[in-house]
Amino acid sequence: MEDKNIMDNFNGEEVLLGMMALNKMSREAPWAIKEHDLSKGYWRRVINPDGEAFCNIVTKRYVIGVKTGRVIFLDKTTKKRLDPIMGFHHLVTGDVKFDESEMVVLEHGKKFHVISLKTFELIKSVSIPRGLYSGDVFCTYSDDGKTLTIPAYKYDYDKQQYIYYKCEYETEKYSLLSKTEIKREEVDLW
């Protein structure tokens, strides 16, 4: 019996058209992430799974794209694209302080990074509390920029369920102020 690859039965056009149909079906599925604004924060933040960046932040001076491995900046005054900050792992969302002095970007996992919007340099990388995970959530600065809130969770094997937390950081040194257990309905999911 001949060992034949099933794909040998299709020509390139059929494969491409099939892949396009599957892509369309997945984007139109009820569970698919659609473009939408995030509910909290001083500046407008848009989740756009089909865009150049997954999360776009629109401030008075910038349009900022949070993209898997980098953060991209467009100066709204000059209409010029500034140099991106690169070298991250699976960034998903971010937020900008009300005074546009700095921003934070959140990795899908265990870290967030603080970026100066004066020098466009990475200031600090911070790990969330040990044993917690920050997947499918978004972080938010307080209106006065003095605190940053990051939702996180862990799986409790004894209870066989997820336990959710709100981690609050002060924004001078980005030290953890509190870790409070919250209900799932209170988690800021994107």
CA distance 178 to 59: 28
Quote the pLDDT of residue 33: 59
**131: in domain:** yes
pLDDT number for residue 37: 74
Q: How far is 67 from 90, CA to CA, in rounded Å?
A: 8
Range of the domain at 73: 6-186
80 domain-assigned = yes
Per-10-residue mean pLDDT, the chain, length 190: 61 73 69 66 83 87 92 92 91 94 94 96 96 91 96 95 97 97 88
Number of domains in the chain: 1
In-domain check, residue 125: yes
Asked, for residue 64, whether it belongs to a domain, the answer is yes
pLDDT at res. 19: 75
**Does 119 fall in a domain?**
yes
Predicted local confidence at residue 36, as pLDDT: 60
Look up the CATH number of the domain holding residue 159.
2.130.10.10
Say if 37 falls within a structural domain: yes
Residue 102 located in a structural domain: yes
79 backbone φψ class: left, alpha, beta (φ>0; ψ -120 to 50): left
Q: What's the confidence (pLDDT) of residue 121? A: 95
Q: What is the pLDDT of residue 53?
A: 84
What does the pLDDT read at residue 181?
Answer: 97
pTM recorded for the entire structure: 0.80
Residue 1 lies in a domain: no
